[in-house]
Amino acid sequence: MTRNSHIFETKIPNGPLGDPVVYCLSQKTGEALLLDLGDLSNLSNKEILKVRHVAVSHTHLDHFIGFDRLLRVNVPHFKPFELCGPPGLIKNVQGKMNAYCWNLLEPGQIRIRVREITRDGSITTALLSNDKSFEPEIEPHQEPVFSPDDPPPPAKPAVCAMILDDGTRVESIVLDHGTPVCAYMLQSPSRYYVRDGALDDLGLDAGSWIRELQMAMAAKDSGKLFEIGGKTWRAGDLAARLLNRVQSRSLAYLTDFIFNADNLARLEGAFKGIEKIVCETNYRTTERERATQKKHLTTKQAALIAAVLSARELETFHISNLYTDRIDLAQEEAQEFFEKFRQLDTRDLQDEVAAELADQH
């Protein structure tokens, strides 16, 4: 099913039981982002060719097996792409590249930029290319520049791992799954659009000045002067009569981590106020002990996390094959818990979290 997240058109091509992959298509640029890199057989080559960025949670087989398909589709087209993920990802990608013979490539045919995110929020970036036989070329990390009109950048340990061509920030924290796992938040920039009929009402013609006005408002430069149609306008006055502002939107991707106090604290510190969460619900709540052993979440735990983060919407996926014949029950259970918990006041919700944490031991 394809859903409109207001940032991207999103779909989970393998359904709630299959390998974790969320395909996110930018409505502005037409380029795509993958959240995780499981089996890609349910995506067409055309869809895969739109992928320029991949955010990998970790490299367990079901989260990384799709790398080879992504690579194979892109190689003939000389298209570079970027990945981010937990420590070890550079070595993982290099190992994949070294598994094949590349004697017929042309110069610059394969260029893959990989960013590793550590638990303390530092980033290591490396370029792997066929020109250098896929030996990692470590690049200096550059802090991204944010528009003053956008939400503030994340405080460490959350970091901005990538900025997409449409301005969307991919922010990340590292959680515990017995191995480091990256959780992600997509944060779109605020945008300004021309209201229908506003140009005609003001007797103005469209031109490059509209983009300049949008940029001035994004930079909070409301005093900038514009000479348009023989008249001088202040940016703030002109924008008030011409532009509508669309607020930033947000989407979180959470999978493969244990329900414990440290993970909860890191999530709340980084992703509080998220609009929508796509979250694993590997087990039903009656299988809490198994979930703890496997370092996964239950339906109840996923719902608690969504409520603690004040999410408006919870979409569940990565459900255990134990529930192949009763998948609706697992999904409904998560939504019932979510609706219950989001109605609680802060103290009662904290009590529910404390009780669930106590039951983990």
123 shares a domain with 7: yes
Percentage of the chain beyond pLDDT 70 is: 92
**Does residue 114 carry a pLDDT above 60?**
yes
Query: Do residues 204 and 137 share a domain?
Result: no
pLDDT digits (tens, 9 = 90+) for 175-221: 999 999 999 999 988 778 899 999 999 999 999 999 889 878 866 68
User: What domain count does the chain have?
Assistant: 2
Angle subtended by helix axes 299-308 and 346-359, to nearest 10: 150
Mean pLDDT for the stretch of residues 27-36 = 94
Could you tell me if residue 331 is inside a domain? no
| pLDDT of res. 153 | 59
For residue 249, the model assigns a pLDDT of: 86
Residue 186, domain member (yes or no): no
| Nearest-angstrom CA–CA distance, 63 and 58 | 7
pLDDT given at position 342: 97
Last residue of a domain, one of 144, 176, 199: 144
User: Domain check: are 61 and 137 in the same one?
Assistant: yes
Q: How far apart are CA 255 and CA 175, in angstroms?
A: 10
Q: What is the mean pLDDT of residues 49-78?
A: 98
- Answer yes or no: is pLDDT of 152 > 80: no
pLDDT at 166: 85
Q: What is the pLDDT of residue 228?
A: 92
Query: Are 8 and 115 within one domain?
Result: yes
In a domain, residue 26? The reply is yes
Final residue in a domain of this structure, among 78, 110, 144: 144
C-alpha span between 95 and 210 (Å, rounded) = 48
Regarding whether 140 and 17 lie in a shared domain, the answer is: yes
Q: Nearest Cα to 277, choosing from 189, 187, 169, 185?
A: 185
11 and 86 in a single domain? The answer is yes
Q: Summarize the confidence of residues 270-278 as an average pLDDT.
A: 96
From 129, 144, 159, the end of a domain falls on 144
pLDDT-derived band at 155 (thresholds 50, 70, 90) equals low
Do 113 and 232 belong to one domain? no
Q: Give pLDDT, residue 248.
A: 79
Q: Which domain holds residue 131?
A: 1-144
Q: Does 235 fall in a domain?
A: yes
Are residues 116 and 200 both part of a single domain?
no
pLDDT of residue 193: 86
- Same domain for 228 and 104: no
148 has pLDDT over 60 = no
The whole-angstrom separation of Cα 199 and Cα 192 is 14
Burial of 26 (0-12, 13-18, 19+ CB in 10 A): buried
In a domain, 297, yes or no: no
Note the pLDDT tens digit of each residue in 320-335.
999 999 999 999 999 9
Of 247 and 128, the one with more pLDDT: 128
The answer to whether residue 305 is domain-embedded is no
More confident residue, 354 or 157: 354
Q: Tell me, what's the pLDDT at 277?
A: 98
Query: What's the pTM?
Result: 0.87
**208 and 110 both lie in a single domain:** no
pLDDT band at 157 (very low <50, low <70, confident <90, very high): low
Residue 356 lies in a domain: no
Helix or strand holding residue 25 (H, E): strand 22-26
Same-domain pairing of 20 and 104:
yes
320 in a domain, yes or no?
A: no
Q: Are residues 212 and 124 in the same domain?
A: no
Please give the average per-residue pLDDT across 218-242, as a whole number: 88
Q: What is the mean pLDDT of residues 240-245?
A: 91
